[in-house]
Amino acid sequence: MISFEHASFSYPSGTKALDDVSLTIEDGEFACLLGGNGSGKSTLAKHMNALLFPDEGTVRVYGMDTRDPKALYSIRSKVGMVFQNPEDQLVASPVENEVAFGPENLGLDPQEIRSRVTWALESVGLAGFEQRDTAALSGGQKQRLAIAGALAMHPQILILDEASAMLDPKGRIELMEVCKKLHSWGMTIVMVTHSMDEASCAERVIILDRGRIAAQGSPDEVLCDEERLRKLKLEAPFSVKLSCALRSRGVPVGACSDANRLIGQLSALKEGRCSR
């Protein structure tokens, strides 16, 4: 569990990136952080594993104050983080050495390290890649490897800071599938993204604007209000825009942030049943 209590943060340049944020990320949650460029979403994410600390207010991870130097080690081992550019976070080759790097630093015994490496690579769909050269992987594979490296530390919370931004569509889908699987195993997932379609997969969407929380709720609650989204420099997911265009043509479908559910509504309409 991560809790922000009236947290504010300014960069040395004077830019106020977080402005009195109070927020709780519950255990086992799948949350998405959205917002325009400069809204503070990455800054917020970096407070979650003590890469940044609030100037005012507090951030606690499982009750531990992130500003407490003695808690740092424990916080970082509970909260794993994956960044935008996979190239920036891979340190070793071949693949199994990369994943073993973290557990080795924990001083675990070789047996335990081996089993963690095997499990982490299986979890992200890279079993069989143990001996591959890290540099020769595709972007999507590198990003999944970065997740495996974080998983090998057995975190309870995984934060992805625009981790899909540099991936092609297939890489993005692979990454989302891994996140959904980890979430189904009970891991807490916090995803920072610009993709409204990715956000529609989350349980809770939190929108930031100028360092403040501007909206939060389920994808259907938050992502269907086109006008508000535009004001926040975002746009509605594809299926919301389509359902809106359909309503204006007299097709009575409800606003819906998920394409498959929209197709379900259309299918029900076509068969002459009421969609509600």
For residue 190, what is the enclosing H or E element? strand 188-192
Rule CB under 8 A: say whether 242 interacts with other proteins. yes
Nearer to other proteins, 25 or 253 (CB): 253
Contact between 17 and 11 under an 8 Å Cβ cutoff? The reply is: yes
Candidates 64, 106, 165, 255; binder of other proteins (CB under 8 A) is 165
Q: In whole angstroms, how close is the CB of 233 to other proteins at the nearest point? A: 4
Among 16, 41, 29, 12, which residue's Cα sits nearest to residue 234? Answer: 41
Query: 128-142: string of b/e by CB count within 10 Å (b at 16+)?
Result: ebeebebeebebbbb
Minimum distance, C-beta of residue 95 to other proteins, in the bound complex (Å): 17
Residue with Cβ nearer other proteins (28 or 139): 139
Q: Which of 55, 168, 177, 221 binds other proteins (CB under 8 A)?
A: 168
The residues with which 195 forms a beta bridge, in sequence order, are: none
Contacting other proteins (CB under 8 A), which of 118, 138, 216, 218? 138
Please give the structure tokens belonging to residue 168: 């092609």
Name 81's bridge partners: 159
Comparison of 66 and 257: residue with beta carbon closer to other proteins: 257
Using a 10 angstrom Cβ sphere, with 0-12 exposed, 13-18 middle and 19 or more buried, the burial of residue 11 is exposed
* Residue 234 in the binding site for other proteins (CB under 8 A): yes
Q: Which stretch binds other proteins (CB under 8 A): 2-10, 37-45, 57-65, 66-74?
A: 37-45
Alpha-carbon distance values, 80 to 10, 152, 188 (Å): 24, 10, 10
Would residue 156 be called left, alpha or beta, if left means φ above 0 and alpha means ψ between -120 and 50 degrees?
A: alpha
* Amino acid at residue number 69: P
- Which of 212, 246, 255, 258 touches other proteins by CB under 8 A? 246
User: Helix axis angle, 139-151 relative to 95-105, nearest 10°?
Assistant: 30
Binding residue (CB under 8 A) for other proteins from 80, 155, 171, 211: 171
Report, in Å, the least distance between residue 113 CB and other proteins: 30
Residue 184 interacts with other proteins (CB under 8 A)?
no
Peptide bond into 94 cis (omega under 30): yes
Q: Of the ranges 68-76, 107-115, 200-208, 259-267, which one interacts with other proteins (CB under 8 A)?
A: 259-267
Phi-psi region of 211 (alpha: psi -120 to 50; beta: other; left: phi over 0): left
Stretch that binds other proteins, among 18-26, 61-69, 147-155, 260-268 (CB under 8 A): 260-268
Using rule CB under 8 A, residue 260 touches other proteins: yes
Give yes or no for residue 194 binding other proteins (CB under 8 A). yes
Which of 139, 154, 216, 226: binder of other proteins (CB under 8 A)?
139
Q: Does 28 bind other proteins (CB under 8 A)?
A: no
Site residues (vs other proteins, CB under 8 A): 35-39, 138-140, 162, 165-171, 194, 196, 230, 233-235, 238-239, 241-242, 245-246, 248-251, 259-260, 263-264, 266-267, 269-270
